[in-house]
Chain A
Amino acid sequence: MSILTAEQRKQLSEILEELGKTLDITKEQHDAAVRSYEYVAGWLAAEESPLYAYKPEIIPQGSFMLGTMTKPIHENDELDIDLVCRLEGKRPEWTQFDVKRIVGERLAGNGILKKLLRIPDGRRCWTLQYADSAKFHLDVLPSIVSSGYRTILEKALSASDMKNINSLAIRITCKEESNYRTSTRPEEWPISNPFGYGIWFEQRAVITFQKSVLMSEAVQPIPKYSKVKLPLQRVVQILKRHRDLIFNGNDDKPISIIITTLAARSYRQELSISDALMNIIQQMPNEIEERYSAKHGRMIKWIANPVNDQENFADKWADNPKKQENFYKWLAQVQQDVLTAQDQRGLYAIQEAMKKPFGEREITKAFTNYGDGLLKLREGGGLKMASVSGALGMVGSIIKNHNFHGR
């Protein structure tokens, strides 16, 4: 393995940024998804809705909220958009089953949504399956929060400290719970804290001198599309794409929440994507704990939810060793692939080395955009040539405009 110079790391970051942009969902995809769930939210919150009194609101969670969405490997595959449907309270007699049912019934009461609603419902979500041309589906998670939740959330976002993070927890429904049809007390229902997690992620991702609006923008009912991404967001996108290519359709693939959490824990505020990526893939295994499991009578791998230490994102590993094995196999592969790519000299050789790990179409697009960017930079008078090596970049003498001629 060769040690890269500062200039080489910078150039690699520029290439990785182009790759990240290529993997990201487009503004059109983003806006189409937002328009769709806005419509759903409006329907749930309408005056004649049985949920009207509980001020239903739909906001993104998961990678759509974190800004770490990646396009599916196959252009025709669907984006999977995770949303929370937040209700401020409920009728006292409603159980988890009732909340889920009433949300479902309201969705089915709309002619358009009825056709999209996937039957039966999921373990925790209702899925709205949009037409093939839209290429996405919405996973809507019904949940109960206390009244005034929006205020609590805004406060937590502006304070951006983790002290009161538990106050952001929401109560959700889950078919597999023994009290699914019996308990009417939300404090006995399964707990989830996607917005607390988002604030934690943002704090890990933010580069000290920057004011981040990642979360405060993401949890708005109509979040804006952001083209600019922090290095940690780009690294998560790149790692997820690598995972997707290795484990295409395999149920035992490393899950996104594990990759995202370990990457965020490993990140050390590196300013460049290449530095962040190198560090993260080396550091990730050190962020996995071992804890004693009474159930298994031995030490098991533990990847704690940063906003709920008792929740193990790797809880399935102990009973399904294939999942654990796949995670470590994937990590070794991504380490090797990144080192192989950075050891090449000649942009075409780097491109060739990145094709298989990240996808030929996206890599070709990333290098195409990189080349177009160099031309644009020179035409704008911003491209320079360094003395001695002749390397193009931001130092040296400005390259005058000209036209390559000939065939």
Chain B
Amino acid sequence: MNPSIQSRLTRAALAAGLCCFLSLGAGLASSVQAATQGGTLVIVTTPEPNLLTNALSSAVTVTEVGTKVYDGLLEYDMDMRPIPSLAESWEVSPDGKTVVFKLRRGVTWHDGRPFTSADVQFSLLQVVKQYHARGPGNLGPVTAIETPDEHTAVFHLEHPYPPLLKGLSSAEAPILPKHLYEGTDIRNNPANNAPVGTGPFMFKSWDRGSAITLVRNPNYWREGRPYLDRLIFRFIGDSGTRSAVMENGEAQVATFGSIVPAEMKRLASLPNLEIAEGGYEALAPILSLEINNKKPPLDNRKVRQAIAYAIDRKFVADNIWFGFGKPAVGPISSVYASSGIFTDSGIVRYDTADRIERAKRLLDEAGYPEKEGGVRFSLIHDVSPYGEDYRRLGEYLRQALGKIGIKVTLRNEDWGAWVRRIYTDYDYDFTSGWFVGMGDPTLGAQRLYVSRTIKSGIPFNNATRYSDPEIDELWARVAVEQDTAKRNEAFHQIQRKLTEDSPLVWLLELHMVSLQSKQVKGLITSPLGMRGGLYEASLEK
């Protein structure tokens, strides 16, 4: 081992490790009792993925399939603290610029070849960092990965990067077999559609347009796992039929996006079905309105604040998302409460009792008095093409903003046109969408707020074109700050400053739960939820 690297585990980390060891132990004990071996679990999800290697695409369904086949270096407990996966242990050097991962021994690829540190080096630097949309964020400062032996990977970083340990799951940074990818055209490698990994399930077949079948990996390194013999992902175009498939028991699990919330609520009340709670914490998704901050009158902070006041988040949570979400207070989700990153103190709250009066007052102050018929000005809302819920949201927004004198017209376009309009042409007033926070806000939320991500043509970057030097500086600080208290304080400042400037309007922290048959046990055991390995899932006979 490299002697220059001091092993240093802080007391906090030790305590955390112990904690997660205990909780893991408890989890194991309970699942040993409940788990039944065997069976086929059918999962309904949508849309059908276009390829199966989630190292090359961060699309939701690609990740759902890929994470069963691949492992990552790390996994996370429910509080997003790292726990071992392909890496058995890891040490961060005191200067934060070197991280040593000790890799698990005796792990083999589904084709029988041994897994080594060379796979880690190749996958992360040659594939994930180059091709995965969040690769540059997750692995940004990693300049080199040294492999002193087959079971050690030494990461060299440009600067300390605390978020690094939050983005190494199989969902974000899957480890691919170097021997199948090296020296090939990575994007068109045949293994992309017939993936080979080290994970709990092996790829068997892909019936295009219908289903993907994965089978149990008998040599999986987690002793006795997975419990299921087979995982089948089914793709059905119509949401009504997807509900029917759950209702008559042809499928046992449906992912959040595949069933509309209203239906989800109805189906969960049937005797054989229930909600599988949790499983979205690693995504930390927030439903928001993106506002064109460069376009008058929306360039005026008071106007954006008025819009934020006008919306009844509780109503949206209860009547459009049917309780699958809770009102959001700012850009940083309360999912991060346990790590101290989240705060709701000292921020501008938009859920006050007199919010309508405040909104009207702000619009008056901004110079937009009520004119004939109570209308101050008109806006177009681009309904995002995510489905029915977003159309209903659009209809609600029209009413809610109408109350404060903003006349809203709705515009519906399909994916291609919408992405082009919002993220390339910036030809919009405001639109809606859900944005991920990821394991650390630096990895997910950040890109919506900093000046350097104002890049025309790249979706889900800073399309509001909000730009503020103080905010830029704060985000730069949290990326490198190793002192937890100072880092959390900087996040709190971000939360305060952004709620005041209101570049976006944050509506709900979405609870992206799944629907499951009551026969299914142990489905959601990690914050990755359906984007985890599902090796603890079992089917009661």
> Do A and B interact?
no
